[in-house]
Amino acid sequence: MLQDCNAPAILSKIQSEIAMNSIQWFALAALFVSSSYHAQGADNDNPRHVPEGFSLQWEPDFGDDGILQQLDFTDAKAWRRNTNAGRAALELVGNSRYASKVRSPSSIALLTTRRFGDFLLEAELMQTGRDYGHRDLCLFFGFQDSGRYYYVHFASKTDPEANQIFIVDGKPFTKISTKTTVGSKWGQNQWHRVRVQRIGTKISVWFDDMTTPAMLADDASFGAGYLGFGSFNDSGMFARVRVWAPSAEEVARNRDLFKAQGERGAR
């Protein structure tokens, strides 16, 4: 027979070890859940397609009048805030009264409080004009002044003057895209998701299909510049805009980008 056997003490020790192991297990489980939550939050803030080193720099609220204080227009009377299908939108209601220095888009709304070099811009677009081959909306970037900038032209049918990536550099717009599609199918009362990315000299553009770029270009003419929205001479809406970038250059609001006001430009 064993001597000095203290069964209550042994039982108490076993219970203490079980309790300690349970506490440690719950602590590890809580740490795992917390880590998963924060990782999920990071993915929500920075989607997987956003390049490494980029962070969200601009997400305008088109439901707030304050957004208008960040923008400059070729013709402010051609723009308004609106709501469609639950989206607060910046709406271009018609062609702007603006005479550009060279043949180029007439309706432009620029974010003039920040300039971007490398960037990723996402937005939802709806074309509201009549249906024809050059029915378009545009996104602008690398904007230096009213005679020097890049823009993406989303149009129903592609030709050398439509549905391409263009540069305006002191002369009428010139195609620089090395790849495009047969056209950007707008439909009627339909929102379309678009994405424009510039890293270094390489420009990539997506329209609805976010797996394969619709347009590509490579150009080093302009560095950091303003971003914007508009059309050559049509109407439409812009909503759910987000811009990611490594950084944004904060600048005083520029109100002098579009001084050449005049009669409606001709296509």
Q: Which domain holds residue 13?
A: 8-43
From first to last of its 267 residues, the chain has per-residue pLDDT tens of 444 545 555 556 556 564 555 545 444 444 443 444 333 334 446 889 999 999 999 999 999 999 988 999 999 999 999 999 999 999 999 989 998 889 999 999 999 999 999 999 999 999 999 999 999 999 999 999 999 999 999 999 999 999 999 999 999 999 999 999 999 999 999 999 999 999 999 999 999 999 999 999 999 999 999 999 999 999 999 999 999 999 999 998 877 788 644 433 333
Residue 156 within a domain: yes
Domain of residue 235, CATH code: 2.60.120.560
- 156 shares a domain with 190: yes
Please count the CA atoms within 13 angstroms of the CA of 94 that sit on its side-chain side. Answer: 3
Q: Which of 98, 120, 57 is nearest to 257 (CA)?
A: 98
pTM of the full predicted structure?
A: 0.81
241 plus 196 within the same structural domain? yes
In this prediction, residue 264 carries a pLDDT of 39
As for how many domains the chain has, the answer is: 2
Same structural domain, 61 and 120:
yes
Distance (Å, whole) CA 123 – CA 139: 10
Indicate if 117 and 14 belong to the same structural domain: no
Residues 137 and 181 in one domain: yes
Residues 59 and 39 in one domain: no
Q: What is the number of other CB atoms lying within 10 angstroms of the CB of residue 170?
A: 9
**pLDDT for the residue numbered 181:** 98
Q: 117 and 21, same structural domain?
A: no
Which residue is associated with the tokens 């050449």? 260
pLDDT at 89: 98
Residue 117 shares a structural domain with residue 241? yes
Element (H, E) at 109: strand 107-116
Give how far the C-alpha of residue 267 lies from the chain's centroid of Cα atoms, to the nearest Å.
27
In a domain, 3, yes or no: no
- What is the full DSSP assignment across 34-92? HHHHHHHHHHHHS-TTSPTT-EEEE---TTSGGGGGGEEES-GGGEEEEEETTEEEEEE
